[in-house]
Amino acid sequence: MTLYIYLIDLLQRVRTGFEYASASQRNTDAGTATCISAPAADDSGGYWCYVESKYAWYRFSWHKTINVPDLRRFPQVAGCNVSRVRLSREMTRTLRNSETIDHGADSCIRLTSTTGLPILKVAHPHALARDRLRWEFEMLKHMSNCSLSVPKYDPKPLTDSTGIYAYRMQKLHRLDFENLEQYRPQVAAAISRVHAAQVSLGDLHPGNVMLDEEGNVVLIDFSYAGRLNDPVPSHIPEYIYGGSPYIHTLADEQRLETQF
């Protein structure tokens, strides 16, 4: 069962690209087009992703391979379809006052000039991503109130007429992926405290564990987290909790064993 969970996780990484792109590859200055989401399959047998150019977002689709075509001539890219995404005024203002430095499956990470909490996590512009960010923010508040190892954040999220689209948090640092075993005691202790608070992370992996300025482990990304024994929400993929209809700790325990 542990090997099965590990293989499913590995497949999901390839499919959704939850591993963040490096900041050096994601320069979003006003004259550059860059992907802000991982390539995903569409209903036509092709692929698509979100692209940012001049602080506007686009849905960009293509065929043949999952590799993103050359964007240097964006939006004039041969054999590809480009459609601009309509964003709220609030979200557009946020984009113009920040730059993308990373992206994940449902959101992008942006850097601002704000002192103290310079990082913005901004949902991708579709309903499921918004739902996951809203859930994540609620879980972050709950876990923070339980004094767990979570990021410092602004309790007032960024909203528009549709609801929460972003929130501010502290700047964190990635683990050394070549030496993950050194973090295992800290991660295990942090997960133990999470479970003692009657919560499960669901999506535990090295990309969802970071370090603060003092080198302390900080858990992130709670869109698949939940309170123990609660029904699994519809926005969480079935494989996360092994097909169980209820939130449990087994997924965390298995991923701690296989990935650290």
Which of these, 243, 250, 256, 152, lies nearest to 204 by C-alpha position?
A: 256
> What is the second-level CATH architecture of the domain 173-259?
Orthogonal Bundle (1.10)
Q: Structural domain boundaries of the chain?
A: 22-87, 173-259
Give the pLDDT score at 252.
97
Instruction: Give 183-216 pLDDT, tens digit per residue.
Output: 999 999 999 999 999 999 999 999 999 999 999 9
Lowest mean pLDDT among 25-34, 58-67, 131-140, 228-237: 25-34
Give the pLDDT score at 37.
95
Which of these, 119, 150, 97, 123, lies nearest to 23 by C-alpha position?
A: 119
32 falls in which pLDDT band (50, 70, 90)?
confident
Tokens of 55: 């602080």
Instruction: Give 47-99 pLDDT, tens digit per residue.
Output: 999 999 999 999 999 998 999 999 999 999 999 999 999 999 999 999 999 99
Task: With beta carbons less than 8 A apart as the criterion, state whether 97 and 200 touch.
Answer: no
